[in-house]
Structure 1
Amino acid sequence: MFGKVEHELELEVAANEAWKLFGTLEIAKFVEKEMPQIFQKVELTEGDGALGTVLKLTFVPGIPGPPSYKEKFTKIDNEKRIKETEVVEGGYLELGFTLFRVRFEVIEKGEDSSIIKSTIEYELKEDHAANESLVSTQILANIAELAKNYLNKNKAPK
């Protein structure tokens, strides 16, 4: 079975500014520092932030979902401002998912505004259908909200 969930949040910064955070490894450093109640550790295990980079995400015990997994950067489009990662080891793959993809897309709205669209696409084996309840954009929504506050505080003066 295939599914998709999305979350959108308007940012009060230009799309290029938001992409500097979401389109690079900065987002990994950001979530590890700003979300210690969710992320115990975010480790770079392979690469430098380019296509093929692998991160290991370890969650604080008690967070719904798998305790950890590795994700790989499978798409980085700097022109369209889209970055996709897929779980490649552990985590959701051990829970019956055959695909668990997260996409961040920064959409230009105006000169000083943009939208961060977060999407999870997944495929799940029928005999693990109950695990579909583990799919949620809540953590992505939290990341977007914290990023919005951070970007607003740190935006370059006009």
Structure 2
Amino acid sequence: MHGQISADTLVGVPATILWDVYRASELGRLFGKIAPDVLGRVEILEGDGGVGTIAKLTFPPAPGSAESVYMKEKFTKIDDENRVKETEIIEGGYKALGFDMVRIQIKIIEKDSESCIVRSSIEYEGDDKLEDVVSHVSVKPLETIAEIVGKHLSERKSTR
């Protein structure tokens, strides 16, 4: 089984500003400061934020649960010209559900001089037995991150 889901999120900041945050490990640090209850904690385990970097994301416990969920992802592509970043989940997260491969792609698309679109995609491969699990794969957390970071950067820009 192979599939892909994606969504576009409009953000009210220039593409270049948003890309500066998304391109490296800055996103995890920023999001951990402004919305730790949504994402939780991001730790860089290996690397400098470039291709090959391994990050561990520890999410807050789901409502009614005392257990945190985590995933480790490896940065596999950072394309500054096209503003594309790809990571692969190497442990935990959707990988723990049994998928063989889970790739996350973020593309920042310039809309105009003051806004851009964040195209968030998840591509997955796995055994056909995972058909029931596929419904749990969602880009909603990526959309939420784009909305919160965009709002934060927009507010910061307007206070200057």
Normalising by the residue count of structure 2, what TM-score does the alignment of the two structures yield? 0.89
* 1:97 has 2:99 as partner: yes
Residues 124 and 132, structure 1, Cα contact 8 Å, conserved in 2:
no
Residues 12 and 151, structure 2, Cα contact 8 Å, conserved in 1:
no
Distance in 2 separating the partners of 1:151 and 1:27: 12
Distance in 1 separating the partners of 2:93 and 2:12: 34
Gaps of 5+ in 2: none
Distance in 1 separating the partners of 2:158 and 2:37: 29
Number of residue pairs matched by the alignment: 157
Deviations 1:76-121 (A, max 9, x none): 0001000011001233222110111111111111122211111111
Offset of 1:126 from its aligned partner?
Answer: 1.0
RMSD (CA atoms): 2.1
Q: Partner residue of 1:47?
A: 47
Code of the residue aligned with 2:46 in structure 1: it is: E
Offset of 1:16 from its aligned partner?
Answer: 0.7
Structure 1's consecutive aligned runs of 4 or more residues displaced over 3 angstroms after TM superposition are: none
Q: Partner residue of 2:83?
A: 81
Deviations 1:37-87 (A, max 9, x none): 2333211100010000000111112279x8111100000000100001100
Offset of 1:151 from its aligned partner?
Answer: 1.6
* 1:13 has 2:13 as partner: yes
Gaps of 5+ in 1: none
Normalising by the residue count of structure 1, what TM-score does the alignment of the two structures yield? 0.90
Task: Give the % identical residues.
Answer: 39
Distance in 2 separating the partners of 1:31 and 1:20: 14
Q: Partner residue of 1:26?
A: 26
